[in-house]
Structure 1
Amino acid sequence: MDRAGPVTGPPKTPAQQELIGAVRGFVRRHLSSPRARRPRVVPGSATQAQDRSAERVCVALSGGPDSLALTAAAVRAGLDVTALVVDHGLQDGSARAAERAAEAARGLGARARVLRIEVCGPGGPEAAARRGRYAALDAARDDRPVLLGHTLDDQAETVLLGLGRGSGARSLAGMAEWADPWGRPLLGIRRGQTRRACAEWGLNPWHDPQNDDPRFTRVRLRHEALPLLDDVLHGGVAEALARTAAQLRADAEALDSLAAGLLVRARTPDGLDAAELAAAPAALRTRALRAWLVEAGASAPSSRMMARVDALIADWHGQGPVAVGGDAATRLVVARRSHVLTVENAGR
């Protein structure tokens, strides 16, 4: 697809500068180091080719203000941008909305592709749409990182939702700024700033009616719970929740590193050494067990499942195997045999 000319207009406003700075900072932290460097190509004309090269990235573009502002900021930050627009086909007119988003991206100076998917599978339409969306983006990205338009407000909602559901520290740590290949440059940017930048750039975002549908828990958190908390606590709640996520993520990364060492020490030819695991703090032991189960093919270990598996170590009194899922052909269980924990195929 042809690439339109770069974004033009009056000098950058504070909101625009903040978004562009967030994108440039993200690239500097995560995409420009030797370890994380991505292939670089020369965008634009032959004259431009002689002058500079640009980091190649994709932007997941819904057409909404957050992802549209991110697309504009990424182009303005000097990146070679391909916008990937996923049409879930769940609403009337979704195909036209997707094409309009792609047209807007081309007008900003990005390439654009529309990815049409069929939403199906377990877990309800929201979960199925998310799985389908990420699978389509991953298939289309061509070894480029994919930038997502999640903001500080999205992070706050994620943390509050996890807190209300009694999730552990991993969930309360929220979304990572970088988890290869997914990048979130705007996690420090408020939603109001993306809307303001869109208006200043003369962009007309698409507003998904589902974002205002009170049938969805996240919508009620956004429009009811967070404003109430702001009122009761005199403001700053979204920023405080985002800080909590950052602190917990740093803690989780340190614990995960220590747990990886524990898992190495606990491995035996037959499974895991129960005595080695029992001597470790619970925070490390459960992380090591979770990593081991995922490696063995367990199905997204829940907190209840992890508690039962951990009891084979911390509260051993001869109990039987614990079912940990598997695929369509395999039923996996964790069993303790003497002093060794094993994952076994119990059949179907």
Structure 2
Amino acid sequence: MGRPGPRLSAGAGAAVALAVRRHLRDLPPGPVLVGVSGGADSLALLAGALDVADGLGRAVGAVCVDHGWRPQTADVVRRAARAALALGASPVRVVRVVPQRHGPGAGGAEEAARTARLAALDAVAARDEAVAVLLGHTLDDQAEQVLLGLARGSGTRSLAGMPAVRDGLLRPLLGVRRAVVREATVPLAPLLAPLGLPWEDPSNTDPVHLRPRVRHDVVPALEAALGEGAVRSLARTADLARADADALDGWAGAVVAGLPDLDAPDGVPVAPLAGLPGAVRRRCLRLLALRAGAGALTAAHTAALDALVDDWHGQGPVALPGGVGVRRSSGPDGCGRLRATPAPRPREDPHGRP
């Protein structure tokens, strides 16, 4: 029996449904969940998943996460849950989370909210034995992510954007433009409008945040100068960068697996690292530092670690977040070694100021 409620539009809706079908058909048997915020993209994704679910013999539920950022978010989440029920999702879960920030270098409020949201989605998926959680990011979101990575200047992984499939999370709409996804929801208006949906998060238009400035200023300027294909090209860049980053990360992981820890008695020999390409060596050093207990590392931290190997001239230890330091010294065999040490304390001001 088909699902109740209105369906997506014929043209744009078919593009959404096809994208969802391509991802769902290869999953193992079991239910899937859709993260529903009340925004147009997630509602279109839910409707698309429900449209194709019957033919695939798959149950579709929904998870509505309240970050508690604003007083109205709890009400938006309740309305989103009502819409999900009306569209035919079952079960529909409502989850309240409290994003936790862990100090400098751990990311801002948006990153804390994202971490809390993903943890909540994982927990609900495990409880409901769902084989995947679907998220409504679009091609435009991917292009914006690449531009944000360029602005940060933090390397290939930062340009890799969001993966379509990873750790039980699926993003079926990464190949579909945002305008198409939102056009697909037009037939849902009789159901959604009385609920005050779709909802647009005010943070998506608040210029105090970087992403809205990229979305409303940078992307239109790029399309005006380079044509509409610019957004799709940025998303393709993410695919290429991700393949490169995955290969380099895999190489580095294999190297580090054969090395001792930085806090081992003899530390880590420099020689195996010195012979590696810089892109691989820096990844190795980052992995070793994290394994020693370092916190979130910036590009500057990684560059300072790399200088201990590739530009050694007797410099002192490198201080890392988490109270970890790394210094270079000679080992028992006379070769250079990297060792973990307590992070150097900041130099005191001669006038007693901090």
One-letter amino acid matched to 1:150: H
Q: Per-residue deviation at 1:199?
A: 0.9
Q: Indicate yes or no: 2:49 matched with 1:70.
A: no
| Contact 1:5–1:109 under 8 Å retained in 2 | no
| Contact 1:89–1:118 under 8 Å retained in 2 | yes
3-state SS of the aligned residue for 2:174? coil
Determine the C-alpha separation between the residues in 2 that align with 1:314 and 1:344: 20
Q: Deviations over 1:111-162 (max 9, x none)?
A: 2111112344345433332232223223322153322111110010111111
Structure 1 pair 72–296 and aligned structure 2 pair: CA distance change class (3 A): farther
TM-score when normalising by structure 2 = 0.83
Residues 285-296 of structure 1 aligned to structure 2 (within 5 Å) = 285-296=281-292
| Contact 1:272–1:342 under 8 Å retained in 2 | yes
Determine the C-alpha separation between the residues in 2 that align with 1:223 and 1:189: 18
Determine the C-alpha separation between the residues in 2 that align with 1:283 and 1:255: 7
Residues 1-348 of structure 1 aligned to structure 2 (within 5 Å) = 6-9=3-6, 13-28=10-25, 32=27, 37=28, 40=29, 55-78=30-53, 79-110=58-89, 111-121=91-101, 122=103, 123-142=107-126, 144=130, 145-202=132-189, 204=192, 205-267=198-260, 270-326=266-322, 331-338=323-330, 339-345=336-342
Question: Structure 1: which 4+ aligned runs deviate by more than 3 Å?
Answer: 7-12, 122-125, 264-271, 344-348
Determine the C-alpha separation between the residues in 2 that align with 1:131 and 1:257: 24
Structure 1 pair 324–347 and aligned structure 2 pair: CA distance change class (3 A): closer
Higher alpha-carbon deviation: 288-297 or 187-196: 288-297
TM-score when normalising by structure 1 = 0.84
Higher alpha-carbon deviation: 182-191 or 76-85: 76-85
Higher alpha-carbon deviation: 119-128 or 140-149: 119-128
Determine the C-alpha separation between the residues in 2 that align with 1:157 and 1:66: 15
Q: Per-residue deviation at 1:337?
A: 2.9
Structure 1 pair 266–222 and aligned structure 2 pair: CA distance change class (3 A): same
Taking CA–CA contacts closer than 8 Å with sequence separation of 6 or more, which of the two structures ends up with the larger relative contact order?
2
Structure 1 pair 5–343 and aligned structure 2 pair: CA distance change class (3 A): farther
Structure 1: give runs of 5+ residues left out of the alignment.
41-54
3-state SS of the aligned residue for 1:141? helix
Structure 1 pair 9–249 and aligned structure 2 pair: CA distance change class (3 A): same
Higher alpha-carbon deviation: 338-347 or 157-166: 338-347
Determine the C-alpha separation between the residues in 2 that align with 1:218 and 1:11: 28
Q: Per-residue deviation at 1:265?
A: 4.2
Structure 1 pair 215–181 and aligned structure 2 pair: CA distance change class (3 A): same
Determine the C-alpha separation between the residues in 2 that align with 1:160 and 1:68: 26
Higher alpha-carbon deviation: 60-69 or 78-87: 78-87
One-letter amino acid matched to 1:257: G
3-state SS of the aligned residue for 2:289? helix
Higher alpha-carbon deviation: 110-119 or 56-65: 110-119
Q: Deviations over 1:153-177 (max 9, x none)?
A: 0010111111123221110111111
Determine the C-alpha separation between the residues in 2 that align with 1:177 and 1:323: 36
One-letter amino acid matched to 2:52: A
Determine the C-alpha separation between the residues in 2 that align with 1:191 and 1:262: 41
Higher alpha-carbon deviation: 65-74 or 201-210: 201-210
One-letter amino acid matched to 1:117: V
Structure 2: give runs of 5+ residues left out of the alignment.
193-197, 331-335, 346-354
Structure 1 pair 93–260 and aligned structure 2 pair: CA distance change class (3 A): closer
Determine the C-alpha separation between the residues in 2 that align with 1:104 and 1:8: 10
Determine the C-alpha separation between the residues in 1 that align with 2:69 and 2:254: 45
